[in-house]
Amino acid sequence: MPEPAVPAKLKRLVSLRSRGCCEYCFGQARFALQEFSIEHILPKSKGGKSESENLALACQGCNNHKYNHTHARDPVSQAIVTIYNPRQQRWSEHFAWNEDFTAIVGLIQTGRPTVQALELNRPPLINLRRILYQAGEHPPATA
């Protein structure tokens, strides 16, 4: 029997905890054209549960690119490593903004493959970050 959808109360908790930001690319839901998703960090197809510690808020782009992946190849070491886990790891230890805050730089062996696998620097995101930065709305305070 399939697991039921994420209960509304849990969705609210995940959304509030993330302060309305994608937990991968730090896109802000209030500036997004598509509703953000409640993403299963360990996918349901791999046994992931709809529990607070396995859920993250993700924009549609990050959610689509992550799909059911949990690992990716580090472009530097070529090792297959786990994708960044926003519940167990701190974003600022794995990623940084470039000098004009338009691109995310993967700092270590988890950050680099996550930037590639989730395509955290998709051209529309870079354009939006540039405009929001000029408007004083990027990076969000939580980033």
Residues binding Zn ion (CB under 5 A): 22, 24-25, 27, 59, 62
Q: Using the minimum distance from each CB to Zn ion, give the nearer residue, 48 or 140.
A: 140
Smallest distance, Zn ion to C-beta of residue 58, A? 6
Q: Report the phi/psi class of residue 103: left, alpha or beta, with left for phi > 0 and alpha for psi in -120 to 50.
A: beta
**What values do phi and psi take at 22, rounded to 5?**
-60, 130
Burial of 57 (0-12, 13-18, 19+ CB in 10 A): buried
Residue 105 has, within 13 A of its CA and on its CB side, a CA count of: 7
Q: Using the minimum distance from each CB to Zn ion, give the nearer residue, 9 or 90.
A: 90
Smallest distance, Zn ion to C-beta of residue 66, A? 9
Q: Using the minimum distance from each CB to Zn ion, give the nearer residue, 59 or 132.
A: 59
Smallest distance, Zn ion to C-beta of residue 23, A? 8
